[in-house]
Amino acid sequence: MFHKRSDVYQAIRSLSEGSKRLRLTQLNESIVQTDLTRHNAGAMRKRTVGRLCQTPVGPSSAFHRNALQQRRDERAFTLIELLVVIAIIAILIGLLFPAFSAVQNQARRTQAKNDLTQIVTAVNAYYTEYGKYPLVTADTIITTASTPNNADLFYTLRAVAGGLNALDVANPRKIVFINPPDVKDPANPRSGIGTAAANVGRYFDPWGTPYLVRIDGTYDNQLVNPYALNAGATPLQIGVIAWSFGKDAQSQSVPGPAADKKTGTNDDDVISWQ
């Protein structure tokens, strides 16, 4: 009985040891298989990386250069397109220039009208101060060639000792009745008092022509209207008038009277009494 039990124990022990050896063998095989798998995977990755590194770069770079060149070509103007744009701009300028010129001329007319109003106001203020009109003894049109002339009148009204107001004889109280600015360009005088030797002291309109003034030197409160039609009554019941030849610098109002304010070179004249 004892021997049978011992045999059984030995058989069990042998089975247990055999099982352990089998497990160790399987475990070793598993470890080896895992190492082989990792080694193969690493080798595969190395070969893959190697092939990627050996991929040529030239074609890709050339592709990008071609794409950039194509974009530049797409953004560039052709000569025909440039000429079309220039032509369109020229047409627009041609369409807009007349409108701009008309607006500019209207602004000058407005400025001339304001200047004429100030001239008439200054002469009337002189009359109020001294009880007489400046310089005149007859119903004279004051121009650049008359006596007194344009410069003499405005020397007096500006209280400048010059011309017929030398030593302030015509304005002894030295009262400034009008104070227009000097012209910006002495060689091309506009909108102010001339400063060049050839035109010093003259008062120019916005187009470059000296203003004209007629004063009631006979003190009958009547002045001949420079225009026979479309410029008010004839004679005018007023003591001072002033006007400008306008944009064309021409008028039939001097020596006058002109036939019609609304015709020919008279049409663009600017007058103080209307």
Q: Are 201 and 155 in contact (CB under 8 A)?
A: yes
Q: Please give the pLDDT value at position 241.
A: 97
Structural domain includes residue 145: yes
Residue 253: inside a domain:
yes
Question: Is residue 150 situated within a structural domain?
Answer: yes
What does the DSSP assignment read for 195-240?
-STTTTT-EE-TTS-B-EEEE-TT-SS-B--SBSSSSS-SSB--SE
The residue range of the domain holding 119 is: 95-271
Our count of domains for the chain comes to 1
pLDDT digits (tens, 9 = 90+) for 11-22: 556 555 656 565
* Cis check: omega of the bond before 257, within 30 degrees of 0: yes
For 4-44, the pLDDT digits (tens) are: 445 645 655 655 565 656 565 665 565 545 554 555 544 44
Reported as half-sphere exposure (CB side, CA atoms, 13 A), residue 74 has a value of 6
| Per-position b or e across 73-90, b if 16+ CB within 10 A of its CB | eeeeeeeeeeeeeeeeee
Q: Given this model, what pLDDT does residue 242 score?
A: 98
- Residue 157: inside a domain, yes or no? yes
Q: In this predicted model, what pLDDT tens digit does every residue of 233-250 receive, in sequence order?
A: 999 999 999 999 999 999
Query: Which residues of the chain fall below pLDDT 70?
Result: 1-76
Residue 50 pLDDT? 44
User: Cβ(239)–Cβ(119) under 8 Å?
Assistant: no
CB neighbour list of residue 139: distance below 8 Å, 6 or more residues apart: 214, 215, 216, 217, 218, 222, 223, 224
State the Cα–Cα distance between residues 266 and 186, nearest whole angstrom.
27
Q: Is 168 left (phi over 0), alpha (psi -120 to 50) or beta?
A: left
Q: How far is CA 140 from CA 50, 143, 150, 164, 198, in A?
A: 110, 9, 12, 16, 23
Residue 104 lies in a domain: yes
Q: What is the pLDDT of residue 256?
A: 87
In a domain, 169, yes or no: yes
258: DSSP letter: B
Task: Tell me what pLDDT residue 95 has.
Answer: 82
* 34 falls within a domain: no
Does residue 164 lie in a domain region? yes
